[in-house]
Amino acid sequence: MGMLSEFRQFAMRGNVVDLAVGVIIGGAFGKIVSSFVADVLMPPIGALLGGTDFTGLKFVIKEKVVEAGGKVVSQPVSINYGNFIQVTIDFLIIAFSIFMMIKMMNAMIKKNIPPPPPPAEPSNEEKLLIEIRDLLKSGTQN
């Protein structure tokens, strides 16, 4: 029972819960960005490049082998670089969005930090010692 209560204490720490929420929101945000790139951003870019569908771009290393009866003996082997381009654009958009979000949060945190308090006024004893020091420097006495 000790290990279970220790795990519960670990899991309920604020930073672990915050991390879990961040991962869940990040996953959902990633899906939104992936949809944006695949469904909104890449079609116009593909149209500008002559109707290219980026997910279909690939280098075929080995064609599929089909028997006389139509049965596929071996699947084709290809390097799908178009999908890689799309995923790279997804990553760049997500990374830039997170960078901007963290930059805004840091700016908000800096605004909320109160200025340091002014230095404490010297005590009467310190004032007297300063006055004595200044009198000794000037070489005059009262």
Cα gap 43→49, rounded to integer Å: 10
pLDDT in tens, 25-78: 888 888 888 888 888 888 888 788 777 777 788 888 988 888 888 787 788 888
Whether 141 has a pLDDT exceeding 70, the answer reads no
What's residue 15's pLDDT? 73
Cα gap 80→82, rounded to integer Å: 6
**In the chain, domain spans:** 2-138
Cα gap 30→70, rounded to integer Å: 40
> Do 24 and 38 touch, CB atoms closer than 8 A?
no
- Residue in this structure with the two tokens 């720490």, named with its chain if needed: 13
2-138: CATH, from 2.40.10.10, 1.10.10.60, 1.10.1200.120, 1.25.40.10: 1.10.1200.120
Question: What single-letter amino acid sits at 27?
Answer: G
